[in-house]
Amino acid sequence: MRIRPRQQLLDLWQAVLASCYRDGKWVWGGRDGANSISDAEQLLCLLYPATELDAFALDQPNDIAADARAALEPFGEETRIGGVLVGLLEDYLSRYTGPEGDPLFAAGSYLHTDDDRPLTAEQLELEVVDSYSMSLSLCIAALRFLRGFQRFVGGEVRREARQLSERIPLVIDAVGNRLTAAMAGLVRSFVIHTPEPKSDAGQAILHVLNQGHAPADEVIQRLSARLERLRVQAANEVRLSQTTEVDVADDERLFECGWGWGIVRTAEPIEFVPGRVGRAAGHAEPRPYLYFTAVALDGIIDLSSQRIRELDLLTDEQRKLADALQLRFELARNYWSTVARFGGGRWPLEDIPWRTSDGEESDYFSLTVTAILIQDLVYRDSTEDLARTVAVFDQLARRGRITSRLTTDDAAAVLHYPGVRLGLSGSEDVSGGSPLRWYVPDFVTLMLKRCLQAARLRTDVDTRDRLTALAEAAMDHLDRRVLREGPAAGLWDDPAALLGPSAAPAPGPSWFVTERIMECLVIAFDTFREPPLAPPSMVDRAIDLMSEAEHLLNQEELEIEGDDLTPKQAAVNRIRQALDRARSVLRERPGTAYSLATQALIQLDELAYARQDATR
pLDDT tens digits along 387-440: 999 999 999 999 999 999 888 889 899 999 999 999 999 998 886 677 899 999
Residues 405 and 554 in one domain: no
64-68, 364-368, 566-570 — which is least confidently predicted? 566-570
Counting the structural domains of the chain, the total is 2
pLDDT of 571 reads: 87
Q: Quick one: average pLDDT of 92-101?
A: 94
119-123, 198-202, 472-476 — which is least confidently predicted? 119-123
Quote the CA–CA distance of 561 and 369 in Å, as a whole number: 69
pLDDT grade for 561, boundaries at 50, 70 and 90 = low
Quote the CA–CA distance of 333 and 483 in Å, as a whole number: 35
pLDDT grade for 611, boundaries at 50, 70 and 90 = confident
Closest CA relative to residue 252, chosen from 211, 229, 219: 219
Q: Quick one: average pLDDT of 570-582?
A: 91
Domain stops at, among 489, 511, 529 = 529
Cβ atoms of residues 145 and 50 within 8 Å:
yes
Name the percent of the chain lying above pLDDT 70. Answer: 96
pLDDT of 305 reads: 72
Q: Quick one: average pLDDT of 490-503?
A: 88
Decide which of 75 and 2 is more confident: 75
Residues 521 and 552 in one domain: no
Cβ atoms of residues 421 and 439 within 8 Å:
yes
Q: Quick one: average pLDDT of 577-600?
A: 92
pLDDT grade for 238, boundaries at 50, 70 and 90 = confident
Residue range(s) defining the domain that contains residue 269: 5-529
Residues 285 and 330 in one domain: yes
pTM, rounded to two decimals: 0.91
117-131, 144-158, 596-610 — which is least confidently predicted? 144-158
Cβ atoms of residues 558 and 587 within 8 Å:
no
Residues 436 and 550 in one domain: no
pLDDT of 39 reads: 98
145-159, 336-350, 376-390 — which is least confidently predicted? 145-159
Residue 246, pLDDT above cutoff 80? no
Residues 443 and 544 in one domain: no
Instruction: Give the DSSP H/E element, type plus range, for residue 421.
Output: strand 420-423
Kindly report whether the peptide bond that precedes residue 353 is cis, defined as omega within 30 degrees of 0.
Answer: yes
Decide which of 239 and 143 is more confident: 143
Residues 590 and 449 in one domain: no
Residues 511 and 544 in one domain: no
Decide which of 232 and 299 is more confident: 299
SS3 383: coil
pLDDT grade for 530, boundaries at 50, 70 and 90 = confident
- CA distances from residue 577 to 41, 567, 601 in whole angstroms, order as listed: 51, 15, 13
Closest CA relative to residue 533, chosen from 578, 473, 466: 466
pLDDT of 507 reads: 86
Q: Quick one: average pLDDT of 437-450?
A: 96
pLDDT of 434 reads: 76
Residues 509 and 568 in one domain: no
Closest CA relative to residue 38, chosen from 91, 87, 106, 88: 106
61-65, 116-120, 299-303 — which is least confidently predicted? 116-120
Condensed to tens digits (0 to 9), the pLDDT of residues 183-217 reads 999 999 999 999 999 999 999 999 999 998 899 99
Residues 308 and 431 in one domain: yes
Residue 563, pLDDT above cutoff 70? no
Residue 69, pLDDT above cutoff 90? yes
Average per-residue pLDDT for the chain: 91
Residues 587 and 473 in one domain: no
Residues 545 and 525 in one domain: no
Q: Which of 158-172, 479-493, 494-508 has the highest mean pLDDT?
A: 479-493
Cβ atoms of residues 296 and 318 within 8 Å:
no
Quote the CA–CA distance of 612 and 616 in Å, as a whole number: 6
Condensed to tens digits (0 to 9), the pLDDT of residues 312-334 reads 788 999 999 999 999 999 999 99
Decide which of 307 and 238 is more confident: 238
pLDDT grade for 241, boundaries at 50, 70 and 90 = low
Condensed to tens digits (0 to 9), the pLDDT of residues 342-362 reads 988 899 999 999 999 999 999
Q: Quick one: average pLDDT of 571-576?
A: 90
Instruction: Give the DSSP H/E element, type plus range, for residue 303.
Output: helix 290-303
Domain stops at, among 529, 551, 568 = 529
Residue 307, pLDDT above cutoff 70? no
Quote the CA–CA distance of 185 and 71 in Å, as a whole number: 36
Closest CA relative to residue 117, chosen from 501, 437, 502, 504: 437
Long-range contacts of 579-586 (CB under 8 A, 24+ apart): 579/546, 579/549, 579/550, 579/553, 582/542, 582/546, 583/546, 586/539, 586/542, 586/543, 586/546
pLDDT of 429 reads: 85
Domain stops at, among 529, 548, 576 = 529
Residues 206 and 339 in one domain: yes
Decide which of 445 and 235 is more confident: 445
